[in-house]
Amino acid sequence: MKILIAPLNWGLGHASRCVPLVQRLLNDGHEVILGGDGESLTLLRKHFPKLRYTYLAPLNLRYSAGSRQVWAIIKAMPKLIKWAIQDHLMLKTLLREEHIDQIISDNRFGLYLKQGQTTSNDVKQPQTIYLTHQLHIMLPRGWKWAEPIASRIHARIYARYNKVWVPDYQDPQQSLAGELSHSTFNIQHSTLIEYIGPLSRFEMSKDRDIEISKQYDIVAVLSGLEPHRTLLEKELIARFSNDQRPTTNDQIPSVLIVQGLMHRPNTRIKRGNITILPYMSDAELASALLGAKHIIARSGYSTIMDLEALGLLTANSQQLTAKMELIPTPGQPEQEYLATLHNKMQ
């Protein structure tokens, strides 16, 4: 089959969790076309440089610099609607040019097809799959009353697809996303929903030995929309610059900050005890995380799945097995919920 896979460009999490999907499809002998925009597409292209790719509608959003994002999202709604329409039109243009058997959309709202909509040479219509872990949309305090409305609006979006894949365990007791992926608002669409298990770029590590690097005491992995990605980076640099707090060896801790900037030249920057890299390969990052005494990251869902794949988080106990600091993006209720669910400091 010829399959188009396209993640949302909202941080790197949507793209990173598509990496194992792409690899599985390639292993099964399918032809894969990468789709998307921005850093998200760049990440996939770096992982799979030989694959064809196609640009889809760009989405360039920024959060408010404050701790509340509701009004920033409300103001962005016209841009989101326009983006989804553009994505839909670009998909139809692509399908007129060549036949695609399956479309996997990670939270890109517009990559659906209406029943009976024809493609190139009037061949069989592709199957459309929507990938999401947020069946329940969480909103900040003061807006909780609108959660059922937001969740049902989202359900109307994914009901346009032939299937909905949820990257989580079906058993609520093992769930990594908790209430986010086990919502009561999707009952009418339950026949569409299929739990496919967590997706992590590190899942291959379960089948091979990873060389553990103990070069860095503290590893911080940054991600997400601006300006909060940069704000957290500056905060961590200020926090750990020439840190005089003793470790077990009475030494200044060595700190690695991975910026999550795929478009930058991968140039290493040294600031005293801090090493800064725009990005790392999966093998290098897994090695650093497994060897770290302390890990700092946003509490995005893809990060949670990555930690579980590395054995740093146990799904059924929801406890982190290393000293870890999961920091939610300010004003993002999903990450606040996941941080509460999983952030057990040791």
Per run of 10 residues, the mean pLDDT along the chain (length 346 residues) is 96 94 96 96 96 94 58 75 95 94 97 71 82 92 85 91 96 92 71 94 72 91 88 94 58 91 88 94 92 93 93 58 80 90 60
| Torsion angle (degrees, nearest 10) of CA 322, 320, 326, 282 | 70
CA-CA distance, 262 to 289, in Å (whole number)?
19
pLDDT reported for residue 119: 54
CATH code at 2-203:
3.40.50.11720
pLDDT reported for residue 337: 93
Q: Give 105: exposed, middle or buried? Use CB within 10 Å, 0-12, 13-18, 19+.
A: buried
Q: Which residue, among 20, 19, 23, has the nearest Cα to 44 in the 3D structure?
A: 19
Please indicate, yes or no, whether the overall pTM of this predicted structure exceeds 0.85: yes
Task: Answer positive or negative: Cα dihedral of 298, 304, 307, 312.
Answer: positive
pLDDT reported for residue 318: 45
* Cβ-contact 342, 315 below 8 angstroms: no
CA-CA distance, 15 to 17, in Å (whole number)?
5
pLDDT reported for residue 210: 77
Q: Could you check whether 2-203 and 205-342 share the same CATH topology?
A: yes
pLDDT reported for residue 185: 63
State which fold the 205-342 domain adopts: Rossmann fold (3.40.50)
Q: Which amino acid is at 25?
A: L
Sequence spans of domains, the chain: 2-203, 205-342
